[in-house]
């Protein structure tokens, strides 16, 4: 059983009460995390505030070196962190699971460390010189979800500290342990107070998002929570980066080869058991290819290994928590009530486990609730279409706009369809393939701002224009 504390100002905070974290594969106790109080949060914010002047005064090169040291430290603990992650999140150790997630976190850290924060010269002539400087905001509050808890915490923390901010992170109460351990490790190489943790219930996140000493909130999670954060951040006019829900459409074009695309469609939809913001969540297939694509996906799904993340060769684990399991189950039932035909998997009556079968559904129409709402789990609706213009309209007729994909070998047709899709990223013949140098974010209700790349880095700064 794991037990970690909150760190503020480089010190472990006293634990007056704690809460249980369970292993979703077994239901056993995975560990205990501190139930941080608002007083603990104040301590963490005060520590971040106290560390800010010295940290922000360091040179860029010094902060780059510190970030590199964080990457080295995490690399030295890669396996340990992966084991904690599998214990509390359920994802397999191998494949696109915990080792992959921690490895990705390290790669993202190194990439952000390597970026420069430029001073831009806007004008330099006989009328004067004007420079655009990037200044850190101050204390950044980071609020993270349970699906990719370590990687997403890194996406928040590293660009923020790289640009001279200090951070207070609040992990999801479903998966706090790996993040707490990671922040302990960061504190072994960073100056005290640069990165602080505060675990606790949702109320802690709500207090953070209205706190007058926090200059920015970076939040990854559901759209309803993002909307609440935006509301409570209004009083202090906080800077916001919100990475919210997605209901990504994939559109297969008539020239695609069903056998050739099946594996990439499957993993685009089911990586991390579908519990990924930018998973393919509704698949539109033309009449001519519909049966072939369905058959190829069913055949592929039959060979995917689902089980305890510590068992050899597993590719998918359980759904992480009961609330999400019930949501997926309800949407699958609703899809059937709307005329959907189960191709494999289907709803579950047994409430004793969090393992949900890989489910593919031939949806009866675009109005199916499994098509309209984000399932965030291992169930994919496949919708038949006959008119491309109409299907692009359907793909866009959704409040979300995170990612999208087009499955075709025709690059010109891809460019045309991609241009007409309302989403922050569009892929050809793959889905959800993010990388640290390409900005990522959603349009419409999928978010505000971007992470990754130079744009994501600079989102942690305020502009100061200097007239020399």
Query: In angstroms, how far is CA 140 from the centroid of its own chain?
Result: 18
> Any contact of residue 229 with ligand NAD (CB under 6 A)?
yes
Nearest residue (CB) to ligand NAD, 2 versus 219: 219
Q: Are 335 and 341 in contact (CB under 8 A)?
A: no
> Any contact of residue 372 with ligand NAD (CB under 6 A)?
no
Burial of 352 (0-12, 13-18, 19+ CB in 10 A): exposed
Q: Using the Cα atoms of residue 232, residue 235, residue 238 and residue 240 in order, give the sign of their dihedral.
A: positive
> Any contact of residue 32 with ligand NAD (CB under 6 A)?
no
Part in contact with ligand NAD (CB under 6 A); list of ranges 42-50, 244-252, 260-268, 362-370: 244-252
Write the interaction track for ligand NAD spanning residues 434-453; mark x where CB under 6 A is met and - where it is not: --------x----x------
- Report CA Rg, the chain: 23
Part in contact with ligand NAD (CB under 6 A); list of ranges 114-122, 137-145, 161-169, 454-462: 137-145
> Any contact of residue 183 with ligand NAD (CB under 6 A)?
no
> Any contact of residue 222 with ligand NAD (CB under 6 A)?
yes
The residue count for the chain: 468
3-state secondary structure of 146: coil
> Any contact of residue 376 with ligand NAD (CB under 6 A)?
yes
> Any contact of residue 169 with ligand NAD (CB under 6 A)?
no
Shortest gap between Cβ of 435 and ligand NAD (angstroms)? Answer: 14
> Any contact of residue 146 with ligand NAD (CB under 6 A)?
yes
Q: Are 312 and 92 in contact (CB under 8 A)?
A: no
Part in contact with ligand NAD (CB under 6 A); list of ranges 14-22, 237-245, 282-290, 297-305: 237-245
> Any contact of residue 304 with ligand NAD (CB under 6 A)?
no
> Any contact of residue 246 with ligand NAD (CB under 6 A)?
yes
Q: Where are the alpha helices (DSSP H) in 243-342?
A: 258-270, 290-302, 322-337
210: Cα within 13 Å, side-chain hemisphere: 10
- Helix, strand, coil % in the chain, rounded to nearest 5: 40, 20, 35
460: Cα within 13 Å, side-chain hemisphere: 30
Catalytic residue among 67, 101, 277, 374: 277
Query: In whole angstroms, how far apart are CA 337 and each of 208, 252, 368?
Result: 42, 26, 9
> Taking the chain, what is the end-to-end CA distance rounded to the nearest angstrom?
59
Q: Are 306 and 316 in contact (CB under 8 A)?
A: yes
> Any contact of residue 98 with ligand NAD (CB under 6 A)?
no
Catalytic residue among 88, 101, 243, 374: 243
Shortest gap between Cβ of 191 and ligand NAD (angstroms)? Answer: 26
- Is 203 a catalytic site residue? no
> Any contact of residue 147 with ligand NAD (CB under 6 A)?
yes
Determine which residue in the list 179, 197, 220, 460 makes contact with ligand NAD, applying CB under 6 A: 220
> Any contact of residue 241 with ligand NAD (CB under 6 A)?
no
Part in contact with ligand NAD (CB under 6 A); list of ranges 11-19, 221-229, 248-256, 280-288: 221-229
Q: Using the Cα atoms of residue 369, residue 370, residue 372 and residue 378 in order, give the sign of their dihedral.
A: positive
Part in contact with ligand NAD (CB under 6 A); list of ranges 10-18, 68-76, 220-228, 334-342: 220-228
Nearest residue (CB) to ligand NAD, 117 versus 233: 233
Q: Where are the alpha helices (DSSP H) in 338-420?
A: 369-372, 388-396, 411-420
Nearest residue (CB) to ligand NAD, 172 versus 197: 172
Angle at 312 between CA 101 and CA 183, to 5 degrees: 30
Nearest residue (CB) to ligand NAD, 48 versus 293: 48
- Is 188 a catalytic site residue? no
Taking residue 412's Cβ as centre, other Cβ atoms within 10 Å add up to 7
3-state secondary structure of 76: helix
Active site residues: 243, 277
Interface residues with ligand NAD (CB under 6 A)?
143-147, 170, 172-173, 202, 205-206, 209, 220-222, 225, 228-229, 243-246, 277, 374, 376, 402, 442, 447
């Amino acid at each position: 059983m794991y037990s970690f504390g909150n760190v503020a100002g480089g010190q472990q905070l006293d634990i007056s009460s704690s809460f249980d974290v369970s292993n979703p594969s077994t239901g056993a106790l995975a560990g205990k995390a501190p139930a941080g109080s608002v007083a603990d949060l104040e301590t963490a914010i005060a520590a971040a505030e106290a560390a800010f002047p010295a940290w922000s005064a360091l040179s860029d090169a010094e902060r780059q070196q510190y970030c590199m040291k964080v990457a080295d430290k995490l690399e030295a603990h890669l396996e340990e962190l992966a084991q904690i992650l599998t214990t509390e999140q359920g994802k397999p150790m191998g494949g696109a699971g915990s080792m992959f997630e921690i490895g990705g976190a390290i790669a993202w850290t190194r990439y952000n460390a390597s970026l420069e924060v430029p001073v831009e010269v806007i004008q330099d002539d006989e009328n004067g010189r004007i420079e655009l400087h990037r200044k850190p905001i101050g204390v950044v509050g980071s609020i993270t979800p349970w699906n990719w808890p370590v990687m997403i915490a890194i996406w928040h923390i590293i660009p923020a500290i790289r640009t001279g901010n200090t951070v207070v992170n609040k992990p999801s109460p479903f998966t706090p342990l790996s993040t707490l351990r990671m922040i302990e490790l960061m504190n072994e190489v960073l100056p005290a107070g640069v990165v602080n943790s505060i675990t606790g219930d949702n109320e802690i996140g709500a207090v953070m998002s209205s706190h007058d000493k926090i200059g920015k909130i970076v939040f990854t999670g559901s759209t309803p929570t993002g909307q609440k954060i935006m509301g409570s951040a209004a009083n202090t006019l906080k800077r916001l980066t919100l990475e919210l829900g997605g209901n990504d459409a994939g559109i297969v074009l008539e020239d695609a080869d069903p056998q050739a695309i099946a594996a990439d469609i499957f993993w685009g939809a089911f990586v991390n058991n579908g519990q990924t913001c930018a998973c393919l969540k509704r698949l539109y297939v033309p009449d001519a290819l519909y049966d072939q694509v369905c058959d190829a996906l069913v055949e592929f799904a039959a060979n995917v290994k689902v089980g305890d993340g510590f068992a050899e060769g597993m590719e998918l684990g359980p759904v992480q928590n009961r609330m999400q399991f019930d949501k997926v189950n309800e949407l699958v039932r609703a899809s059937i009530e709307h005329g959907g035909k189960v191709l494999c998997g289907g709803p579950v009556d047994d409430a004793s486990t969090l393992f949900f079968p890989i489910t593919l559904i031939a949806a009866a129409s675009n109005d199916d609730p499994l098509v309209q709402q984000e399932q965030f789990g291992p169930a994919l609706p496949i919708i038949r279409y006959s008119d491309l213009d109409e299907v692009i309209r359907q793909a866009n007729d959704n409040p979300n706009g995170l990612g999208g994909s087009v499955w075709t070998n025709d690059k010109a047709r891809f460019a045309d369809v991609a241009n007409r899709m309302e989403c922050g990223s569009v892929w050809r013949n793959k889905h959800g393939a993010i990388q640290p140098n390409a900005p990522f974010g959603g349009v419409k209700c999928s978010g505000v701002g971007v992470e990754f790349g130079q744009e994501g880095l600079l989102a942690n700064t305020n502009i100061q224009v200097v007239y020399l």
